[in-house]
Amino acid sequence: MWKKWRAKMGTDSPLGRFLIKAASWSFILQIGLSALTFLSSVLLARLGGDEGFGIYSLVFSWLLILQVAANMGLDDLLLKELPIFKDQKAWGKRDALLAWAEKRTLWASLLLMIGFYLLLRYTDIPGLSNYADYYFWALPIIPAYAFLQLWQSALRAEGQMSWGQLGDRIVQPLLFFAFLALLYLFAYPISDLGLIAGRSLSFVLAAGLAFWLWRRYRQAQPKASNWPKLDLPAYKKASFYFNLGSLLYLLNSRIDILFLGFFELPPEQIAYYNVALKFSDIALIPYLVLTTVSLPTFSSLYHQGKLEELGRLYQGSTALITLAIMAVLAVFIAFGPYFLLIYGPEYQQAYTALLWLCLGKGIHVLVGPVSQLLGLVGQEKMAAYLLAFSLAITAILQYSLIPILGINGAAIAAFLGLAVFDLSLAYWAYRKLGFWPIAYWSRK
């Protein structure tokens, strides 16, 4: 019975077994990341207090958006193109594309840092200018994160799944947790600015490790005698839509905190909401694992014309992770007040927000990484349009509900916007690929 079920899910094929093997290591890394992130957030709440933790949450919500913007979609471009170059043994194209991507990432990071600095100094935007000193200390994260993602994506695209996740899944959170734990253990007084500077340093060190791993891997690979001319207009167009899609998706998932800052809710309320958001995100561990290890395989299958196998593998892997995630979400819904109590009694007022956020994540995992899938099969433009549509709905709902319902309004708006996003993408994927990218749904 177990063998029949595995065959039905598509996980008993050679590719399925490869994904399971790769996912096992990724799952261990993601569990470690989630544990470190959770413990770090508890220490941040203890060291910075509710107000300091709220400011920290707002600052890094903005910085996360800038980090992704600096990456310019080049990490997704590498995940799409490098597996093809590897199959073709086109080492010259691989090296030329990587050199071009590194140069663009450098310029984008520098321009964004300068632009954001000027925005902080010479404007008066709520949620930005009133916390300008905090943002200044976090600016080094922009180039560090962009290059970290670029080099790790290159490693994963080349099949180096463990090395391609080590920097941001283990090293960065471990360094930051060790920093916080030492401060807490020795009761060392530190300002909120110091906590943000410590987070920035951990990203810089993790990016350095990713650079070293990538260069070490490249030394053992075949070298090209010359670099052919690349189709740069096509790569620029593809990376633009990859980046637009990533930014819109990120805005869709973080616009709630940005609006809480815009309406100048007390930082303590932002802290309570961010903790509820973190708990709902913990359930997504299997989803993140699937996204990390499967995209190069999905790209390869599509470009080989194996759509039936792609559909079977996509639905099978999504069905597997849905079981695990729904179980975790059910636990959070049933025992949410007790989990929130870990941060303090005052955090229990975020329970209603936690319920709505968990419902949104439940819909999200049912369709799987369909946005990334559409990007890999040449539908990144339509994916960006649908993301923009759902973001507009989310923004309108946030603007309407937060002044009335506070953090609960932000959670309801996030749930509805995410539902529109996922279901519209699933329908478009069905039209273009011939199967529904929804767990347990008929493929035809």
What pLDDT digit, counting tens, does each position of 259-316 carry? Answer: 888 887 888 888 889 888 888 877 776 666 666 666 667 766 777 777 777 777 777 7
Residue 442 domain flag: no
Both tokens of residue 108? Answer: 């984008």
Q: Where are the alpha helices (DSSP H) in 263-379?
A: 267-282, 285-303, 307-340, 351-367, 370-376
For 167, the domain range is: 2-433
pLDDT tens digits, the chain, 444 residues: what are they?
A: 334 434 444 445 554 554 555 555 555 666 666 777 778 888 888 887 888 888 888 888 888 888 888 888 888 888 888 888 877 777 888 888 888 999 999 999 999 999 989 988 888 887 787 788 888 888 888 899 889 988 888 888 887 777 877 788 788 888 988 888 888 888 777 777 788 888 888 888 999 998 898 888 888 777 777 777 877 888 888 888 778 777 877 777 778 888 888 887 888 888 889 888 888 877 776 666 666 666 667 766 777 777 777 777 777 777 777 777 778 788 888 888 888 888 888 888 889 999 999 888 888 877 777 777 777 677 777 777 888 888 888 899 999 999 999 999 999 998 998 888 888 888 887 777 777 776 666 544
Residue 444 domain flag: no
Overall number of domains in the chain: 1
Q: What is the DSSP letter of 378?
A: T
Under 8 Å between Cβ of 286 and 27: yes
Under 8 Å between Cβ of 55 and 195: no
Per-residue confidence (pLDDT) for residue 20, from 0 to 100: 52
Cβ-based neighbours of 278, under 8 Å, separated by 6 or more: 37, 38, 41
Per-residue confidence (pLDDT) for residue 362, from 0 to 100: 82
Residue 406 domain flag: yes
Under 8 Å between Cβ of 254 and 65: yes
d(CA 383, CA 246): 10
The DSSP secondary structure of 41-94, one letter per residue, reads HHHHHHHHHHHHHHHHHHHHHHHHHHHHHHHTTHHHHHHHHHHHHHHHT-HHHH
Per-residue confidence (pLDDT) for residue 114, from 0 to 100: 92
Instruction: From residue 382, give the alpha-carbon distance in Å to each of 115, 277, 392, 395.
Output: 29, 28, 15, 20
Per-residue confidence (pLDDT) for residue 293, from 0 to 100: 61
Residue 77 domain flag: yes
d(CA 342, CA 166): 28
Per-residue confidence (pLDDT) for residue 9, from 0 to 100: 43
Under 8 Å between Cβ of 157 and 296: yes
The alpha carbon of residue 305 and the mean position of all alpha carbons in its chain are separated, in whole angstroms, by 28
Q: Which three-class secondary structure state does DSSP give residue 282?
A: helix
Residue 94 domain flag: yes
State residue 377 phi and psi, 5-degree precision.
Answer: -105, 20
Cβ-based neighbours of 289, under 8 Å, separated by 6 or more: 23, 26, 27, 30, 321
In this prediction the pTM is 0.70
Residue with tokens 């941060």: 343
Residue 438 domain flag: no
Residue 216 domain flag: yes
Under 8 Å between Cβ of 161 and 169: no
Q: Which residues of 389-422 are buried (b: 16+ CB within 10 A; e: fewer)?
A: ebbebbbebbeebbeeebbbbbbbbbbbbbbbbb
191 burial level (CB within 10 Å; 0-12, 13-18, 19+) = middle
375 burial level (CB within 10 Å; 0-12, 13-18, 19+) = buried
Q: Which three-class secondary structure state does DSSP give residue 420?
A: helix
Q: Where are the alpha helices (DSSP H) in 220-284?
A: 232-262, 267-282
